[in-house]
Structure 1
Amino acid sequence: MQINYNRRQKSDIVISKPSASEVGKYLKTWKNLKNYKLQEDALDKLFFELLPSNEEISDILLKVATLNDFYSTNIFSVYPVAEHILSLKIDERLRQGDVL
């Protein structure tokens, strides 16, 4: 007896080659999703208006926890991540446009 779980076979999956037009297609779809747009607006407000600096652990914790929730990053414990960001003293580099 053969059981069919209706799973796609590897040969059924088509993955487009990365390109500018492919990225544009997904960005257009993403921008039209209401919840994503509102979440991005909320993140902009949080990062650029309410808590623009990364000099207090409580500010960083709020940002890390929010990103973790909005993007489902599955960070098990956000505190060590926030501590690490604090230790990097990144504000001046961010002001200069250094995102690496």
Structure 2
Amino acid sequence: MVDIKTFKQLALSFPGAEEQPHFEKTSFRVKKKIFATHATDSHIVCVKLSEIDQSVFCAFDKTIIYPVDNKWGKQGWTLVDLKKVRKDMFVDILTTAYKEVASKAK
């Protein structure tokens, strides 16, 4: 399990990471590109993964890590249940999302 405070600390620990509003959610960005979002009333985080990384992480347990159920999910946007995910796995997921976005952001 990962609490919201820990999630935010982890997300902001990456070089250049910033917290900004994104509609009704909070986004975490690097070079103006979103790598994670979180709705304040939820324990679900959305991260941006490559399609390959998404399939690897989702293979672990689709009740914990699963693609967004629409065209965004096909682009790598992936939901993670903070109440169920192990911290070490979440650190890997968030790090992968950050690196995916940072490598492509200009």
Fold conserved between structures, TM > 0.5: no
TM-score by length of 1: 0.22
Higher relative helix content: 1
Larger Rg: 1
TM-score by length of 2: 0.21
Which structure has the higher relative contact order (CA within 8 Å, separation 6+)?
Answer: 2
Higher relative strand content: 2
